[in-house]
Every structure is written in C-alpha cells, then in structure tokens.
Amino acid sequence: MSAIRRIGLVQQAVGSDLDRNLARAESAVREAAARGAQLVCLQELFRTRYFPQVEDASLFELAETIPGPTTERMAKLAADAGIVLIVPLFEKRAAGLYHNSAVVFERDGTQLAHYRKMHIPDDPMFYEKFYFTPGDLGFHCVETSVGRIGVLICWDQWFPEAARLLALDGAELLFYPTAIGYLDGESDSENAAMRDSWQTVQRGHAIANGVFVCAANRVGDEGGGVRFWGSSFVADPQGRLLAQASDSSEETLVVECDLGRIETQRRGWPFLRDRRVDAYADLLARFRR
C-alpha cells in the first residue's frame, strides 16, 4: 500500500443557522473527497457559532448526545463519500454534564473513536469552563484505514504532554480541530505574535514527535470580540508547512502526506530513542518547587 495519504481540512465561517452550517460542512467534505481526500477533519464545534464567547445557560440547548442527529448524519456522509471523517461537536452526556468532543468515523460509517477535550480554557471570550467538563477518556490513538491517528481539540494543542502521549501510542498524524482568533482590543503586533505562537507550538509537536500535525480552524467574525484567523495547516515531521489556508476566508485544503517521512525523520532525529524516561517522574507534579 502506498505511504501517501491525502488529508482534507475544512475551514469555514459559521452562522446562526445550525442546519445551514451542517449542510455547508457536508458540502465541503464532499468537495474534499472529490479532490481525493481520504480523511477529512472539520473544525471545533463546527455546527454552531463559537458560543463560549459568553456565559449563557440557554446555550446548553445546543448540545446533543452521541450518538445523535449530527453523528448519525455524519456517519452516513463518511460512508457515502468513502472517507474517514473527524467530527467535533458539543456533547450532552447527561443532564447538566457536557463535553467538547470529537468522533471519528471510518469510511464505512462505523464509529471508531470518541474523544473528549482534556484541557479546558477559561479566558476572556473563551469561557469554556462554564460549558465543558474536562474529558475523561484519556489520550488514545485510533487505527483507521488511512493510518494511526490521534485527535486533540484546540486548547489541547498548547500542551506537549498530550502530543507526546499520542506519539507514544503510535500516532502518525495528529489532528487539532480548533477555534482561535485575533482579539478585539489587542494591537496588530500582539495578535500577529499570538497567531505565530499558535502555529509554532504545533510545528514543535510535529518535530519533537516525528509526526504530521494537521490543524483545522474556523474563520471570520461571529461577534463577541474574536475574529477567527483560519490559517488551517498541515506540517510534516520536520515541522515544514505543507499547506496553509488564508487567515480571512473559507478554504478546504487537501494535502498529500507521505507517511514514509516519519521513519526517515525519526532515524535522523531519534528523540524517542534518547528520552530519559528514568528521569522524568517530576513531570507528574503540578510544579516542581
């Protein structure tokens, strides 16, 4: 089997009409599949606006169960398009218990994996702790027909421990569905620095772990003080950008990833070989001093 995999990332602006958002995402997934994508990743909370810009208890009504209407429709889409599909959504687990989650479907529509976001931010215009319970399913890869993948969500992308654990679980490709953007009231230089930090830390995960990193972000202004900067990208195991989307418009990327690069990179830069696993126990402490 060829080591080349074609990865699709959907970057969209999102409105208030949930059904329209869903239909537009379906259309973009079908477009990516028609362009040869074997796996497609949607952005974080793809069906709704990024509602955590405010704290409003009525917005819990946006959540749905897994399985539920969106996952059932996306499972059918994966089967119809013949692709692996990563679907992030607002999960209602039980009355009063909600998660920021993602589901992975195989190309026959079978649900392969369910991930709940582990790191939950609480910052101005990113009030996620009001809505989401921290995940309890851990960091685990899933074997798909496209390769062994790991899925993390947005704030998770800042934590090297999460990427490393997935690499140690055999990940070849890491996916980060995301909702992040420029903040009103910040200077242009500060916003540019934040965007650069966002990309740099993820490219660092690719390098440190010798894996492909694929980030799918939303784009546009949904009100509330954040203008989402898009810039969805794929980086190879050396951290090189294979493709990057616009920071201001919708785009669907389809990117070739040669999984053979993983072995080549790890032979040259054998970070996993040289880890001092006997000396890292203090990483389990909140703070060392």
- pLDDT digit string, tens, across residues 78-95: 999 999 999 999 999 999
Sign of the CA dihedral running 137, 230, 207, 288: negative
Name the nearest CA neighbour of 82 among 60, 59, 105, 62: 105
What the block records as the tokens of 286 is 């909140």
Q: For every residue of 82-109, which 3-state class applies, written as one string?
A: CCEEEEEEEEEEECCEEEEEEEEECCCC
**pLDDT for the residue numbered 204:** 98
Q: Is the pLDDT of residue 39 over 80?
A: yes
Please state the three-class secondary structure of the chain as a single string: CCCEEEEEEEECCCCCCHHHHHHHHHHHHHHHHHCCCCEEECCCCCCCCCHHHCCCHHHHHHCECCCCHHHHHHHHHHHHHCCEEEEEEEEEEECCEEEEEEEEECCCCCEEEEEECCCCCCECCECHHHCCCCCCCCCCCEECCCCEEEECCHHHHHCHHHHHHHHHCCCCEEEEEECCEEECCCCHHHHHHHHHHHHHHHHHHHHHHCCEEEEEECEEECCCCEEEECCCEEECCCCCEEEECCCCCCEEEEEEEECHHHHHHHHHCCHHHHCCHHHCHHHHCCCCC
Percent of all residues in the chain with a pLDDT value above 90, rounded to a whole number? 98
Confidence band, pLDDT 50/70/90 cuts, at residue 289: confident
Spatial distance between the Cα atoms of 84 and 72, rounded to a whole number of angstroms? 14
Q: Give pLDDT tens digits for 211-230.
A: 999 999 999 999 999 999 99
**What's the alpha-carbon Rg for the chain, to the nearest Å?**
18
Evaluate whether residue 289 is within a structural domain. Answer: no
| pLDDT tens per residue, range 161-219 | 999 999 999 999 999 999 999 999 999 999 999 999 999 999 999 999 999 999 999 99
Q: Is the peptide bond before 67 cis (omega within 30 degrees of 0)?
A: yes
* 154 φ/ψ angles, rounded to the nearest 5 degrees: 45, -100
- With a threshold of 0.95, does the pTM exceed it? yes
Note whether residue 236 is domain-resident: yes
CATH number for position 84 = 3.60.110.10
Report how many domains make up the chain.
1
The pLDDT score that the predictor gives to residue 1 is 66
pLDDT in tens, 84-135: 999 999 999 999 999 999 999 999 999 999 999 999 999 999 999 999 999 9
Strands 39-41 and 4-11: what pairing? Answer: parallel
Residue positions annotated with a catalytic role: 44, 117, 154
- Give bridge partners of residue 235 from the DSSP assignment: 213, 241
Judge contact between 11 and 267, C-beta under 8 A.
no
Closest CA to 86 of 69, 64, 70, 68: 70
Asked whether residue 94 is assigned to any structural domain, the reply reads: yes
Instruction: Tell me the average pLDDT of the chain.
Output: 97
Cα distance between residue 30 and residue 37, in whole Å: 9
Residue 34 domain-assigned (yes or no): yes
Total residue count of the chain as it appears in this document: 289
Instruction: Give me the domain span that covers residue 213.
Output: 4-284
Residue 51 within a domain: yes
Mean local confidence (pLDDT), 238-256: 98
